[in-house]
Structure 1
Amino acid sequence: MKNSFLTALSALTLLGATAQDLKQAEKQIDKKDWAGARTTIDQVTSGDKGAKDYKAWYDKGKVYSQFATDSALKGQVPGANMVALDAFKKSYALDSSKASIAAVLDNKYAYIANLYNTTFNETYKIFQKNDFAGALPGFVNTNEIGRFIYTQHIGLTGLDTVVTYYLGFCYMKLEKNDSATFYFKQLADAKVAGQGFDLPYRWLVYVYSDKKDWDNAQKYAAAGKALYPKDTYFDDVAIQMLKDQGKTDELLKKYEDVLATDPNSYEHQYNYGNTIFALVYGVDKKPAGYQELIQKLEAAFTKCTQIDPSRPEAYLALGKSHFNQAVSINDSLKTIKGTTPADAAGKKALQGQAEEQIKAAITPLEKVFGFYDSMASMKTAEKSNYKSAISLLGDCYRYLDNKEKAKFYDDKYTAADSK
């Protein structure tokens, strides 16, 4: 009986010591003796009794929150924010009702909310320096704190759009595409919109298009287009899909729909013209509606020169189109083998048409020449365009029997490789 009595006495003494230590920690907290409170509360929660006490864990969260958020204490305890979060989680797990009451009494959840605000603000400063690898762990921590705040009905929403965006952005910059897709999908699936939030939709369209997953690419392109109707980027997925599938008629119709909404898109006008160019000139047999198609492609390239006169590729395409028509007309002369006055008149009319096309080709081709000729050096694509233009100009002037001009451009062609 003596041994039993001593055992019971020992247990009561231990219980009393634990309760006493918790009171001591709370007195230290009241006095803002945060270092002392930290030592005491760590001892309390490491004991069997304290480990089961919601209040002990809540007070530990409170103390470490102070080390994480107070400017005078920050840095003294690395990772204090996540230690605090872990303590708050344990407190709520033991008794969510009492823990919540304690948090409300502490200035309406201030110690928990401050963890979120401070972690985000400090991380954002790192992000602003374009240190995406350095910012990523902070946004992960902010998100974890935020999810706790949400699940305990303290605040925030089911989807923290800002933090989710920055998580996706950091992963994207770090080329961790699967993780970037994971977070951006959350935003896109929730149809989040607003300035800057077009990026998740653009990213998903890019990723799925690259994988040739056209169902998902079109899904997010449609979602993005609905929220950002003036952004023609989201039309590109349908355009690319139709290109890959070789559906030329549908592709042209899609371009026309896009251009009806945004006629000043240089890229779409140019690509529309190029698509028709290949359809008209890249085949042995003229397609149905040949003349109408030529009018459309030349209208598209002409529009490009109006949108941005400083870009030479549309001028080159126009010059090529007129030159190709001259060649086609000239070839048709060979089909007139008769010598009657009607045959002679037909030949003369065709020769006149061919000459008109040659003259029409010269104007845009000389624009291209003027653009490149003054350049001291050129990239491979630029040199190719330059040589193409001067070669055609030499042929044009030969056709017009202007030998001097033809030689001028022939000499330019010979010297082009030295640029």
Structure 2
Amino acid sequence: MKKLLVSLLFCTASVSVMAQRAKVASADENLKKQDLEKAKADIDAALQNDKTKNEAKTWLVDGKILEAMGTKQKSSALAVEAYNAFKKALEIDPKMKEAILEMNQPLFNVYATIANAGYADLNEQNWDSSLINFKKAFEIADFYNGKNLGGTIPTDTALIFYTGYAANQAGKKDDAFTYLKKAADLQFKGEPALYVILGQLYEEKGDQANWLKTIEQAKALFPKDKRFNDMEMAFYSKTGKSDELLAMLEKKIAENPNDEAAVLDYAIRVDNLANPRDERGNDAPKPANYEELIKKAEDAYKKAIQLNPADATANFQLGALYFNRAVVFNKELNNLDSKQQTSPKAKELQTKVEGLMNQALPFFEKADAGFSAKVSNLDTSDRQTYESCLYALQKIYAIKNDNAKVEEVKKKLDALTQK
């Protein structure tokens, strides 16, 4: 009887295991029918059994069900559970035959669901959650690519950048630096903000060589983005290396005296050195050699216009040089008290203001003609420049009491700002 009893116990255990394996098979079938609730109930029963809870197949099916649920609900939490289940399956059976056929696409979907959740958090400015999801997505990609599942998740430079961006916004500077540096090393071109932030991080680290290298890389990738000229000016100003910059630029001009783009770039850079701004964009104190720098900038703008008289940007920049100087003298004039308003000093300042405004006017008008001729095709940077040009023209015409011209410019401004 004892032998018979033992035999019956073994038989009962075998039937129990078979029943639970049937639950795994049933869960798989219900998954194929998209009956996810039944599928999950079946697989949960198998996971609670001491025998089947340690089988790779059980965890594989659990992962597939969780992936389907997570993808349908766009739930990063369910996707993470699916990832953990797939991981568990391969821990139990690293050479699992079903993995390539049954885990490949679901695991990629898990990666995509979690990455997309990171982007959703980013849009909502939930920086910490975004960072967590992005980092988990990279973890999954590394896992997927290391398991020979019949495919690879390619390097996503945009995701690398946005992970660094989220980290920076969350105040996680070390994470930000790691990801942003990697994105820059991969020459990411999708967002110039990468190089703005990375440059700031190098500045904070006191790494002048890489700070400048990042700015130069950004200028090569985004030649029309004026922020990087400003960053370069700030670099040389903060590091006290303006002489090195001038020497470098003047050498370049000497080698290419008829290169209009190089001449104009030099003029703008020198103009910015003469008129530095702080990190908030406010006027900073003028350098000791202000007059020398302004004269160099003025001569270079004139040279650029000589090389290309119709260049709207060059004409605007020279007009702005005169106009900005007039504004400085006008502020000085307005700061005089009532008794000084009729003094020789006031008359001298008034003469300077009027003279500089008159100098600026023809260059602004030439720039207006150039920009208006291609107004429908202006990029964001040129559109902003044109808008500044029109505001300056409106101001000058108002000072001259030329109301007809003021109205004409106002119509152009209204049309430009409505586009």
Q: Does TM, scored on the shorter chain, surpass 0.5?
A: yes
Aligned twin of 1:82: 80
Aligned twin of 1:92: 90
Aligned twin of 1:55: 57
- Judge conservation of contact 1:272–1:297 (CA < 8 Å) in 2: no
**Quick one: structure 1 residues 135 and 245, their matched pair in 2 at CA, closer, same or farther if it must change by over 3 Å?**
closer
| Residues 121-132 of structure 1 mapped to structure 2, 5 A cutoff | 121-132=116-127
**Quick one: structure 1 residues 113 and 281, their matched pair in 2 at CA, closer, same or farther if it must change by over 3 Å?**
closer
The alpha-carbon deviation at position 129 of structure 1 amounts to 4.6
**SS at 1:97's partner residue?**
coil
Aligned twin of 1:251: 245
**Quick one: structure 1 residues 225 and 9, their matched pair in 2 at CA, closer, same or farther if it must change by over 3 Å?**
farther
The alpha-carbon deviation at position 91 of structure 1 amounts to 0.9
- Judge conservation of contact 2:20–2:52 (CA < 8 Å) in 1: no
Percentage of matched positions with identical amino acids: 26
The alpha-carbon deviation at position 83 of structure 1 amounts to 1.0
**SS at 1:117's partner residue?**
helix
| 1:148 counterpart = 2:143 | yes
Aligned twin of 1:268: 269
Residues 92-144 of structure 1 show CA distances to partners (whole Å, capped at 9, x for unaligned) of 2222332xx424434x7232222223333454345445554554444344333
Question: Which AA in structure 2 matches 1:193?
Answer: F
| 1:177 counterpart = 2:178 | no
Cα distance in 2 for partners of 1:148, 1:247 equals 47
1:203 maps to which of 186, 190, 197 = 197
Question: What is the TM-score normalised by the length of structure 2?
Answer: 0.60
The alpha-carbon deviation at position 61 of structure 1 amounts to 0.5
**Quick one: structure 1 residues 317 and 304, their matched pair in 2 at CA, closer, same or farther if it must change by over 3 Å?**
farther
Cα distance in 2 for partners of 1:162, 1:9 equals 62
Question: Which AA in structure 1 matches 2:299?
Answer: A
The alpha-carbon deviation at position 176 of structure 1 amounts to 3.3
The alpha-carbon deviation at position 46 of structure 1 amounts to 3.8
CA RMSD in angstroms comes to 4.4
Cα distance in 2 for partners of 1:17, 1:308 equals 89
Question: Which AA in structure 2 matches 1:29?
Answer: D
The alpha-carbon deviation at position 246 of structure 1 amounts to 3.0
Aligned twin of 2:101: 105
Aligned twin of 1:285: none
Aligned twin of 1:163: 159
| Residues 4-403 of structure 1 mapped to structure 2, 5 A cutoff | 10=9, 13-31=12-30, 32=33, 33-70=35-72, 79-98=77-96, 101-106=97-102, 109-133=104-128, 135-154=130-149, 155-157=151-153, 159-189=155-185, 191-196=186-191, 198-228=192-222, 231=225, 233-234=227-228, 239-256=233-250, 261=262, 263=264, 268-274=269-275, 278-280=287-289, 295-299=295-299, 306-307=316-317, 309=319, 314-316=324-326, 363-364=355-356
Cα distance in 2 for partners of 1:365, 1:210 equals 41
Cα distance in 2 for partners of 1:6, 1:201 equals 76
List runs of 5+ in structure 1 lacking aligned partners. Answer: 283-289, 321-355, 369-419
- Judge conservation of contact 1:319–1:365 (CA < 8 Å) in 2: no
Question: Which AA in structure 1 matches 2:142?
Answer: R
- Judge conservation of contact 2:249–2:266 (CA < 8 Å) in 1: no
Question: What is the TM-score normalised by the length of structure 1?
Answer: 0.60
The alpha-carbon deviation at position 86 of structure 1 amounts to 0.3
Aligned twin of 1:324: none
Between Structure 1 and Structure 2, whose CA radius of gyration is higher?
Answer: 1
- Judge conservation of contact 1:305–1:311 (CA < 8 Å) in 2: no
Question: Which AA in structure 2 matches 1:278?
Answer: P
The alpha-carbon deviation at position 184 of structure 1 amounts to 0.9
The alpha-carbon deviation at position 309 of structure 1 amounts to 4.6
**Quick one: structure 1 residues 253 and 310, their matched pair in 2 at CA, closer, same or farther if it must change by over 3 Å?**
closer
Residues 318-372 of structure 1 show CA distances to partners (whole Å, capped at 9, x for unaligned) of 979xxxxxxxxxxxxxxxxxxxxxxxxxxxxxxxxxxx9997775127899xxxx
The alpha-carbon deviation at position 59 of structure 1 amounts to 0.9
The alpha-carbon deviation at position 217 of structure 1 amounts to 1.3
**Quick one: structure 1 residues 140 and 218, their matched pair in 2 at CA, closer, same or farther if it must change by over 3 Å?**
same
**Quick one: structure 1 residues 67 and 274, their matched pair in 2 at CA, closer, same or farther if it must change by over 3 Å?**
closer
The alpha-carbon deviation at position 240 of structure 1 amounts to 3.8
- Judge conservation of contact 1:270–1:304 (CA < 8 Å) in 2: no
- Judge conservation of contact 1:26–1:37 (CA < 8 Å) in 2: no
- Judge conservation of contact 2:57–2:89 (CA < 8 Å) in 1: yes
- Judge conservation of contact 2:202–2:208 (CA < 8 Å) in 1: yes
Cα distance in 1 for partners of 2:294, 2:37 equals 82
- Judge conservation of contact 1:270–1:314 (CA < 8 Å) in 2: no
- Judge conservation of contact 1:243–1:251 (CA < 8 Å) in 2: no
